[in-house]
Structure formats: structure tokens, C-alpha cells
Chains A and B, each alone.
Chain A
Amino acid sequence: MTEFIEKFAEIFDDVDPSSLSADTKFRDLDDWDSIAGLSVIAMADEEYGVTLNADDMRSSQTLGDLYAKIQSKK
């Protein structure tokens, strides 16, 4: 999970991983936008070999949700 949070933070210019946790609602982040959404999908593919689809994204609220989706698809 820590590693996932670091990878997630890397997508943004200015997000400190220590400010994030499994409970972070990612859509509430200031820098969240459609590119960030696509970047999460691309990151899951690149780092975990997992394909997240539009439904996986929509049904996730927190970073913990996203991480669970990735784990369940591995």
C-alpha cells in the first residue's frame, strides 16, 4: 500500500505521499482531473500489469479502494 501511494503521488507535480493514506478520497485532491484519472489507469497497467476500467474507477472513492481493485485483478 505504501508503495502504491508513492506511485500515485508521482502522478502529480505537487503531492507529498505523506499527506496521503488509504482513506484519502482521491477525487477531492486539488490536482485531481481527467488526466490524473487516465494516469492512474496507465500506472496500474505499467506497475502492476492490471487493467482498470471505467467501472473500477467509478466505484472507487479512496486510495484504499483503488488498491483493493488492483490487488483483486492481479
Chain B
Amino acid sequence: MMQSPFSLTDKTILVTGASSGIGRATAIECSRLGAHLVLTGRNVGRLEETLSMLAGDGHVVIAADLTVEEDIDALVEALQPVDGLVLCSGMGMMTPVQFSTRKKLMEVFDTNFLYPVELMRRMLKKKKVASPASIVAVASMGGTHFFTVGNGAYGASKAALDSFMKFAARELASKSIRVNTVLPAMIDTPLIHRGAVSDEDHAADALTYPLRRYGRPEEVAYAIIYLLSDASAWTTGSSLIIDGGKSLV
């Protein structure tokens, strides 16, 4: 039987942010399609938990705080060249303009933009990205399409990530490395429950989406899988909207 172009059989895929939410769902769904996963994040306990949820074998956990240079080095050193890289680690931050100090901006830019890009750079430099390969970064509708009150620091960090990945797509095409982003709107993960918005307000907001609910982590994972797989072999530099129709209203 011919293999599905959506299959990830025997591809090695590094997922950052694999200890929670979208990263965890992505790791699980990739494993079900035959990939070997490298899981990274800071919390070892939750990484091990993700590991225990994976199908198949040949998966590894390498804990790292991606805002610590030595951790990035150790992670990159330990890697075999990967066929897929999912940059999913990130943090939320709600802070109005007048409170968005340089310090706050640096914190969120470090986590959501500068260090994910630095990890990718070091992997490329150390030849830890195979050829062909696919890189997918998780940006956000909140950076490029929706300008929610208080979300400027976060949104700008995600817009920067989305933009940078297009330059990377252009430059890495000659190495047959494709680079794309996904742009989720609100997805039900621990991230959105940590902030300043109550569950009640979230429930009301969810009803403003044409599909009448927030997204589920696996619904972002499926889009990431498309971009990792050979099904998207001619797609690079794209930003895939996953928003329950919200950008239509």
C-alpha cells in the first residue's frame, strides 16, 4: 500500500513546549503517525508524563530552559539531526501599554521570539536540521490579526516570530528546509487560564467565534502535522490560520 503523504513514519521531530498544551498534543499526535519524538521543556515531571502518553517507541526527553544558553547548548549537542522542528514553547502576558516596561517586553520577547530563534539558529549551525526538513513555529492570531486590549507585549513577540520565519523560509529553501507558522486564536490550554481573564469571560468570548467555541490543542496539532509532513512539500513561508472562523467576523 502507498504510504499516506500525511504520515510521519520514521521522521525525528523535536517539539519545544512538549510538557503542556499545544506542544504536548502535537507530540502525541505526531507519535501516532509514526514519528520519533524529542520532547523538551523545563518541567521534567510533565515531560515524562507526555512521554508516557506517546504511541510507539524511540522517544526521548531532554529537559531545557530555553532562556538559558547552557541549556540550549546541551540540548543541541544531544540531538541527532531532525526532520522536523516545532517551536511551541511560549508564555502569555497581559500588560497595558503604560505598564509595558522594557523589562516586561524583554521577558516575553526572550521567551517567545529571541530564544526560539536562537535554538533554531544553533541547530542549523551545528547541522542538527536534516535536509529536507520542516520547521513549524507557533505564532498567534493575537500578534498578526487580533489586537486585544492588554495583549501588546505578547502580540508583538508573536508577530516578530511570524515575520522572522518568513525570512528563514526564503533563506533555507535552498537547503530544502521548509519553514511555516501556525496562527491559532484562543485554544483551551493552561496558558489562557493563568492570566487576567476569568473563566466566565472566556466562556462568553468563545461564543463570539463562528464555530462557537475555543479551539482544542489537538486541532492545532493536526495543522502542525500537515506542515511537518510531505503533504505540504511545496508549502513554505506560509502562516496557517486556525481560528474557528473568528477572523471573519
B128-153 vs A, CB cutoff 8 Å, 1 = contact: the mask equals 00000000000000000000011000
Residue in A34, A43, A57, A58 whose beta carbon sits within 8 Å of that of B99 in the complex: A43
- The reply to whether B99 and A54 form a contact with Cβ atoms under 8 Å apart is no
- The reply to whether A38 and B95 form a contact with Cβ atoms under 8 Å apart is yes
Known contacts A34-B150, A38-B149, A38-B150; A54 and B197 CB within 8 A of each other: yes
Known contacts A34-B149, A34-B150, A54-B201; A39 and B96 CB within 8 A of each other: yes
CA A12 – CA B180 in complex, angstroms? 42
Chain A interface, number of residues (Cβ within 8 angstroms): 16
- The reply to whether A57 and B196 form a contact with Cβ atoms under 8 Å apart is yes
CA A1 – CA B94 in complex, angstroms? 25
Known contacts A38-B196, A41-B196, A54-B198; A46 and B99 CB within 8 A of each other: yes
B193: nearest residue on chain A (CB-CB)? A54
* B residues less than 8 Å from A34 (CB atoms): 149-150
Residues of B191-248 whose CB lies within 8 A of A: 195-201
* A residues less than 8 Å from B197 (CB atoms): 54
CA A54 – CA B199 in complex, angstroms? 8
B95: nearest residue on chain A (CB-CB)? A42
Known contacts A38-B150, A41-B94, A42-B99; A58 and B198 CB within 8 A of each other: yes
Chain B interface, number of residues (Cβ within 8 angstroms): 15
Closest approach, in angstroms, between the C-beta of B130 and any C-beta of chain A?
Answer: 43
Residue in B96, B196, B200 whose beta carbon sits within 8 Å of that of A53 in the complex: B196
- The reply to whether A54 and B96 form a contact with Cβ atoms under 8 Å apart is no
* A residues less than 8 Å from B149 (CB atoms): 34-35, 38
A17 contacts chain B at the CB level, 8 A cutoff: no
CA A10 – CA B195 in complex, angstroms? 23
Closest approach, in angstroms, between the C-beta of B202 and any C-beta of chain A?
Answer: 9
A11: nearest residue on chain B (CB-CB)? B98
* B residues less than 8 Å from A37 (CB atoms): 196
* A residues less than 8 Å from B150 (CB atoms): 34-35, 38
CA A38 – CA B199 in complex, angstroms? 16
A38: nearest residue on chain B (CB-CB)? B150
Closest approach, in angstroms, between the C-beta of B189 and any C-beta of chain A?
Answer: 16
A55 contacts chain B at the CB level, 8 A cutoff: yes
- The reply to whether A38 and B198 form a contact with Cβ atoms under 8 Å apart is no
- The reply to whether B99 and A55 form a contact with Cβ atoms under 8 Å apart is no
Residues of A11-65 whose CB lies within 8 A of B: 34-35, 37-39, 41-43, 45-46, 52-55, 57-58
Query: Chain B: residues with CB nearer than 8 A to chain A?
Result: 94-96, 98-99, 101, 149-150, 195-201
Query: Chain A: residues with CB nearer than 8 A to chain B?
Result: 34-35, 37-39, 41-43, 45-46, 52-55, 57-58
Enumerate 22 A-B pairs (CB-CB under 8 Å) in ascending A order. Answer: A34-B149, A34-B150, A35-B149, A35-B150, A38-B94, A38-B96, A38-B99, A38-B149, A38-B150, A39-B98, A39-B99, A41-B196, A42-B95, A45-B99, A46-B101, A52-B196, A53-B195, A54-B195, A54-B196, A54-B199, A57-B196, A58-B200
